[in-house]
Amino acid sequence: MKLRDIYDYLDELSPFSLQEKWDNAGLIVGNYDTNIEEVYLSIDLDEKMLEKIKPNSLIITHHPLIFSSIKKVNFDVYSTKLLQILIKKDISLISMHTNIDKTHLNKYIAKNILDLDIIQSSEYIIYANVNMKFDDFLEKISIKLGLKYVKYVKCNQFIKKVALVTGAGMSLLDNVKADCFMTGDIKYHEAMDAKTRNISLIDIRHYESEQHFSLLLKGLLEKYLKKNKLQAIIMNSNNPFEFYIKGEAIE
């Protein structure tokens, strides 16, 4: 199957034109005329994962390997080191980032993973009714996402409405109209800002809130690839972070 055919299907599914100006979704490595023999899905790339992937394959990731211009290719930093492996093994790479955030991912996480009662959505922000005590809701979210350690800011004992943005969404705080905001990569001063606004926060972390990208895309691609005698294989990269509390390593 030609890479161009898969790219066009993805573009219809979640147009690459929807991505933010700073983003780099689309074809990152490869040629549209390449014959693809295997399709793999992952939130990111890492070396161990690439060791297992066969030549003449396509990887579809959530995060682009390359965001800005590369001025040196010296193979000692993350992007160029993995780029070398991709080229040597004739592995193509497509990324679906802010485009699929807008069209599918945030809604999918809210509904299918967190089991939230969605009442409204914008480009990125998903709103849902909660009507639960903060502590009970915090426990529910931690279980749904498999979080053994959760960082949070509690401004109120009860949550009526929650806002959700997967990945790193604190830049959207000005637009949040809810009792509680769930997103990842929350910084200290951002937490101080939210507390001043009386908006509770739950840090659902970056990897953990977006790792289900692969499962989402597998479902969206399954019928199309099957017609072409291919299947989408989930092979997620590893979360680079580990957590340490009271002498115990926590995944």
What is the predicted pLDDT for the residue at 250? 55
**Distance in angstroms (rounded) separating the CA atoms of residues 176 and 26:** 29
**pLDDT grade, residue 148 (50/70/90)?**
confident
Query: Is 101 part of a structural domain of the chain?
Result: no
Averaged pLDDT for residues 56-79:
92
- Name the residue range of residue 177's domain: 106-208
Together in a domain, 87 and 118: no
Query: Is 251 part of a structural domain of the chain?
Result: no
Domain with 124 in it: what CATH number? Answer: 3.40.1390.30
Query: Is 160 part of a structural domain of the chain?
Result: yes
Together in a domain, 32 and 90: yes
Together in a domain, 126 and 190: yes
Count of domains for the chain: 2
Q: What percent of the chain has pLDDT over 70?
A: 98
Together in a domain, 38 and 68: yes
Query: Is 218 part of a structural domain of the chain?
Result: yes
Together in a domain, 140 and 113: yes
Query: Is 173 part of a structural domain of the chain?
Result: yes
Together in a domain, 143 and 204: yes
Q: Say if residue 185's pLDDT is above 80.
A: yes
Query: Is 179 part of a structural domain of the chain?
Result: yes
Together in a domain, 164 and 221: no
* Predicted structure pTM score: 0.94
What is the predicted pLDDT for the residue at 248? 61
Query: Is 75 part of a structural domain of the chain?
Result: yes
Averaged pLDDT for residues 83-94:
97
Together in a domain, 181 and 115: yes
What is the predicted pLDDT for the residue at 208? 96
Together in a domain, 85 and 110: no
**Residue 167: Cβ-neighbour burial (10 angstroms; 0-12, 13-18, 19+):** buried
Query: Is 193 part of a structural domain of the chain?
Result: yes
Together in a domain, 182 and 234: no
Together in a domain, 110 and 204: yes
Together in a domain, 56 and 15: yes
**pLDDT grade, residue 243 (50/70/90)?**
confident
